[in-house]
Structure 1
Amino acid sequence: MKFLHAADIHLDSPLAGLQARADLPPGLLRDCTRRAFAAMVDLALAEDVAFVVIAGDLYDGDWKDFSTGLFFAEQMKRLGRPCFLLRGNHDAHSVISRDLRLPPNVREFSVRTCQTHSLPELGVALHGHSFPKRAVPEDLSESYCEPLRDMLNIGVLHTSGEDPGEHETYAPCSPGRLALKGYEYWALGHIHSRRVLHERPWIVFPGNTQGRHARETGAKGCTLVTVEDRRVVAIEHRTLDTLRWAVLEVDAEGADVATLTGRIATAVQAALAGAEDRPLLARLELRGETPLHAALATDAERLAAECRNAAIEAGGDLWVEAVRVRTQPLRLQAADTLEPLRAAFAAGLSDPGRVEALLAEIAALRGKVPLPAREGLSLPSDAAGLTQLAREAWQIAEAVILAEGRG
């Protein structure tokens, strides 16, 4: 017997910061999350799984219209086998105002308490507790039902686990305590990168099915689980994404323009080789001490075009989401002239009160950004992040000063 474990599908979620990009092909971004979900159903049918588990965030938030729910219904009709659905923080009961009657093969976990759904003909029991509201600070797993005897027990849980902060904290729990519950498999959701927290019993985050911004790089998909005699004997990651994100890290150390262009081309070729024939959205990051520092800081458009040109030469599809110049000028370039200014710039963060005030302003600004775009932001949340942002801001200012000095 096999089953599929997916999570964080975020149906109809826009890809962060790209909707107004006129240089991208019209069909590149359209319906990415829907196409990944349809690929999941294709996989379920091809592998003839017994059932599917969705561990939260099927939806990205309240539906803009009923087409989101109708698409899900169409796919469940095509699936034609049980699907167990848990609500997470994005599609919590209090978040979704529109709804449709669930397809007959879909069983949703209660928002009031832990609920057990059984498939006695398969010897399977699934235990889960949906989010009643977006913010769930308590450990829901503490109230999960005891395992049923002579059954394959699966816990379905949307949780931040013990994540150090990449994602917001919801229903935190300890993998060690989950392992002691007596379940054979924990189907988790919320963390968008694939992670296996424990083996035998298996505690698994499958990751999301489609990357939605530049921090969600690499292959995205779901987990295929194989069961024999009510024991999990194998788990496999299966790729579903239709568009992939990548970061092109290029060392500009000691490079002239021709050498740097060659290094960019090499990075593009490597990214395309690992993309499994999928189109790529890439963030170019340049690092290293280089005499080109000042020119690079104001040359983002050409750098992006060089990436695209290299992709065309390699026969692949790649577009640049952003260019990040993290290079440093040669030490002699900055000389003593800019050192007092740099020191004064850095000293601005030596006052803890000023740091606290700046972080509060940034947090307030982040709160004003619409939720779909907020997840793609890279705004600092602590003093270390603010210091890094200040370094990057100084590099840009320094590059402009050096460039104007040459003019």
Structure 2
Amino acid sequence: MSSFRFIHTADIHLDSPMRGLSDEVPGIAERLRLATREALTALVDAAIERAVDFVVIAGDVYDGDWRDYQTGVFFARQMHRLAAASIPVYLIHGNHDAQNQMTRSLSLPDNVQVFSHEAAETRTLDGLDVALHGMSYARREVTDNLVPGYPEPAPGVFNIGLLHTALGGRDGHANYAPCTLDELTAKGYDYWALGHVHSAEVLAEHPHVVFSGNLQGRSIRETGAKSAFEVGVEDGRVVALQPIYCDVARWAERGVDVADADDFNDVIAAMRRAIEAGAADVEGRLLAIRLRLTGTTALHDRLTAAPERLLAEARAAAAGLGSAQVYVEKIKLATEPELDAASRRARQDALGEMQRLLVDAADDPDIRAMIEKDIRRLAERLPHDIRADADDPLLRAAIDGDTATLIDGAGAYLLARLAAGETPS
């Protein structure tokens, strides 16, 4: 049986909008918007430089219907580069680029083979003892188990299955094409190239069942290194599985303990150290970072009252790193005041009275009903993407109709503003 090498990738989501971007940092924001294109270019560069025998893409080349044809033109251009290097490409479409999701299409070069959306099928490569089996999605919501319909393994060759699946359910991913690991390993294939789940994971070996993860992180929910896999096969057996890091930007979240901070300058210095450490970890890539301030501190009220300043100071610190490119996406405040809520309620001053009023408001059915009505009306007007991806606690509470959390959070902010007085200079 012949020896060969191939690249397994998935979830490219070409031209996907990045979540959490702000045009207040225009140069970096534009770089992030182009990151999925740059990651695909890096993957094609790697395939050509390593002279792999073929490439498999396990779904979601695109993020959905194109706004214009330029997305398809870019992908076709990269496939032509592989064609010029005599590297074939085998791909399936997933839920984001399913047949009924796409209203536009472009002809791809002959080296690109797209598996049918009507039934699972088998493709073979001239000169190599390998058979590839796969099926594209006909529609976005594929809730059937596709594995039983895949062909039986071809005898005497290395069998690869391409499947876009949540494998029975993964956190943050719709349970499309559900199946079990046992079903995959029992199929008789030598390698399952999986897509849909955006974290790389080797679920089994010999036979190999592998999620390559997505090629480029697109939001703070997709932190860490992103890659494809180069797979080496000798005598019908996987002998090497090597990540190829193609991401040009990485998302990260870092905790910043400010319990020992005496003033705002100490907090700024702690944020700067966290940003510098984050930039050192990404090996020259652009870093998109979220800072999470923690610790019990007398500065809690002042920090809560000054979110805009905190973000501006963090972005100014990032701008001072010289050659490193860093985008501070958000500052999340998770500090605690030195006085707990019970102690604040016991105070015989305006702040204590306000704390008691807020407790009463949370228990008042008329106030709760009024808030629920008004907030629900506003939340229903939000675009679907914002409703689905919201991770701000107060916004999430408003969308979910969690009135108690909404009152607690808004009350905490109001109390902090009152306790802090004017924002410190």
TM-score (normalised: structure 2): 0.84
CA distance in 2, matches of 1:261, 1:340: 33
Find the residue that maps to 1:28 and give its secondary structure. Answer: helix
Aligned ranges for residues 32-111 of structure 1 at < 5 Å? 32-80=35-83, 81-111=87-117
Q: 2:32 aligned with 1:29, yes or no?
A: yes
Find the residue that maps to 2:154 and give its secondary structure. Answer: coil
CA displacement at 1:213 relative to structure 2: 1.1
CA distance in 1, matches of 2:278, 2:162: 34
**Structure 2 vs 1, CA of residues 24 and 298 (structure 1 numbering), >3 Å: closer, same or farther?**
farther
Letter in 2 for 1:328: E
Aligned mate of 1:334, from 330, 344, 348: 344
CA displacement at 1:132 relative to structure 2: 0.3
Equivalent pair of 1:328/1:395 in contact (CA under 8 Å): no
CA distance in 1, matches of 2:251, 2:407: 25
Q: Deviations over 1:257-298 (max 9, x none)?
A: 343233212211211011110111111211222211111123
Letter in 2 for 1:215: R
CA distance in 2, matches of 1:67, 1:44: 23
Aligned mate of 1:189, from 171, 180, 195: 195
**Structure 2 vs 1, CA of residues 89 and 148 (structure 1 numbering), >3 Å: closer, same or farther?**
same
**Structure 2 vs 1, CA of residues 302 and 11 (structure 1 numbering), >3 Å: closer, same or farther?**
same
Could you tell me which residue of structure 1 aligns to residue 306 of structure 2?
Answer: 299
Could you tell me which residue of structure 2 aligns to residue 151 of structure 1?
Answer: 157
CA distance in 2, matches of 1:119, 1:29: 37
Could you tell me which residue of structure 1 aligns to residue 270 of structure 2?
Answer: 263
Could you tell me which residue of structure 2 aligns to residue 397 of structure 1?
Answer: 411
CA distance in 2, matches of 1:144, 1:348: 59
Shifted more, 203-212 versus 301-310: the winner is 301-310
Letter in 2 for 1:398: A
Find the residue that maps to 2:11 and give its secondary structure. Answer: coil
CA distance in 2, matches of 1:387, 1:254: 37
Letter in 2 for 1:324: K
CA displacement at 1:311 relative to structure 2: 3.1
CA displacement at 1:66 relative to structure 2: 1.5
Equivalent pair of 1:7/1:208 in contact (CA under 8 Å): yes
CA distance in 1, matches of 2:406, 2:300: 12
Aligned ranges for residues 207-356 of structure 1 at < 5 Å? 207-257=213-263, 258-315=265-322, 316-332=324-340, 334-336=344-346, 337=352, 340=356, 343=359
Q: Deviations over 1:92-132 (max 9, x none)?
A: 00001111222100111111111111115211111111100
CA distance in 1, matches of 2:121, 2:396: 39
Q: Deviations over 1:177-205 (max 9, x none)?
A: 21111111111111111111112211111
What CA RMSD, in Å, does the superposition of the two structures yield over aligned residues? 3.1
Could you tell me which residue of structure 2 aligns to residue 377 of structure 1?
Answer: 390
CA distance in 1, matches of 2:105, 2:76: 11
Letter in 2 for 1:182: G
CA displacement at 1:37 relative to structure 2: 0.6
CA distance in 2, matches of 1:379, 1:301: 15
Find the residue that maps to 2:48 and give its secondary structure. Answer: helix
**Structure 2 vs 1, CA of residues 379 and 306 (structure 1 numbering), >3 Å: closer, same or farther?**
closer
Aligned mate of 1:4, from 7, 23, 29: 7
Equivalent pair of 1:224/1:238 in contact (CA under 8 Å): yes
Q: Deviations over 1:211-246 (max 9, x none)?
A: 111111111121111111121111111111112211
**Structure 2 vs 1, CA of residues 67 and 290 (structure 1 numbering), >3 Å: closer, same or farther?**
same
Shifted more, 72-81 versus 386-395: the winner is 386-395
CA displacement at 1:390 relative to structure 2: 5.6
Number of corresponding residues: 397
Equivalent pair of 1:54/1:84 in contact (CA under 8 Å): yes
CA distance in 1, matches of 2:403, 2:20: 20
CA distance in 2, matches of 1:306, 1:330: 24
Task: Give the fraction of aligned pairs with identical amino acids, expressed as a percent.
Answer: 42
CA displacement at 1:378 relative to structure 2: 2.6
**Structure 2 vs 1, CA of residues 213 and 270 (structure 1 numbering), >3 Å: closer, same or farther?**
same
Could you tell me which residue of structure 2 aligns to residue 129 of structure 1?
Answer: 135
Find the residue that maps to 2:328 and give its secondary structure. Answer: strand
TM-score (normalised: structure 1): 0.88
Shifted more, 248-257 versus 234-243: the winner is 248-257
